[in-house]
Amino acid sequence: MRKVPRDEFLPWQLRELAYEDTPLAIAAEQTISQPYIVALMADALLLKGGERVLEIGTGSGYAAAILAEIAGEVYSVERIGQLAEKAAATLAALGYDNVHVQHGDGSQGCPEHAPYDAIIVAAGGPRIPKSLQLQLKVGGRLVIPVGTEVLAQELIRVTRVSTTEFRREDLEDVRFVPLLGKEGWEPEAEPSFQSRLRVVRPSEQVLSRIIATAAEP
């Protein structure tokens, strides 16, 4: 976490808030997760180093960079082309050549590079996608927010015990943007979530700007 410059993954207007433990707005009405949640989910993958990891929901690319500090290869799928392109450029500029970003429906995973030692999903789905479970190696872990309400989920870890058996553990209550796609929510689920999610947006005044306006040179 100390190695990755979170400010590099944010709009310039929000970079002064980069090291606050809070989610922040990025492009396309999406968010960069708070550092605590990124750390919690990465820790839940039980990585030892050198693994092949699949990330669903690249977003800004920040979590992919965290994973790349531990894993051998990170494959990251982003539904929104604008975000995929920007994240790939940021990661490349920072030297993360072991992260591979692609644009697509992350709810179906990335079968061309399967199987994976670990899969992490940065969006909440109504159920655990079957495709993601089947792309795990035996012994592999899937960490995903799941809930029948768009506005709240339970963070779940699924371990593939055998070719046919999976073990499920509930980790923590969380709130994520919806996982949209064939094995996630329908697209109309997104606006109801975004309208009620409270994050700091670039257009809002932040404390330092208020102080600068009020203070004398």
For 103-148, the pLDDT digits (tens) are: 999 999 999 999 999 999 999 999 999 999 999 999 999 999 999 8
**Lowest model confidence (mean pLDDT) among 73-82, 96-105, 128-137, 188-197:** 188-197
pLDDT at residue 150, rounded to an integer: 64
- If you search the block for the tokens 């450029």, which residue do you land on? 89
Query: Residues 161-187: what's their mean pLDDT?
Result: 92
The residues annotated as belonging to the active site are: 33
- What's the pLDDT band for 188 if we cut at 50, 70, 90? low
Identify whether 65 is part of a domain.
Answer: yes
The residues that bridge with 174 in the sheet, in sequence order, are 153
pLDDT of residue 189 exceeding 80, the answer is no
* Pair 67, 17: CB distance under 8 Å: no
Q: Which of 15-29, 80-94, 155-169, 189-203 has the lowest mean pLDDT?
A: 189-203
Query: Could you tell me if residue 141 is inside a domain?
Result: yes
Give domain status of residue 177, yes or no.
yes
85 assigned to some structural domain: yes
Note the maximum CA span of the chain.
Answer: 68
Q: Mean pLDDT in the chain? A: 89
Is residue 17 in a domain?
Answer: no
Amino acid at 215: A
pLDDT at 184 over 50: yes
Q: How far apart are the C-alpha atoms of 192 and 89, rounded to whole Å? A: 31
On whether residue 93 sits in a domain, the answer given is yes
Domain count, the chain: 1
Q: Does 110 map to a domain?
A: yes
Q: Average pLDDT for residues 195-207, to the nearest whole number?
A: 51
The pTM for the full model equals 0.85
pLDDT the model gives residue 198: 44
| pLDDT over 50 at 71, yes or no | yes
Q: How confident is the model at residue 195 (pLDDT cuts 50, 70, 90)?
A: very low
Q: Is residue 112 part of a domain?
A: yes
Give the Cα-Cα-Cα angle 50, 56, 61 (nearest 5 degrees): 75
Which domain, by its residues, includes 47? 40-184
Tokens of 129: 């996608």
Q: Which residue has the tokens 């990335």?
A: 110
What CATH number should be reported for the domain holding residue 81? 3.40.50.150
What pLDDT, on a 0 to 100 scale, did the predictor assign at position 148? Answer: 82
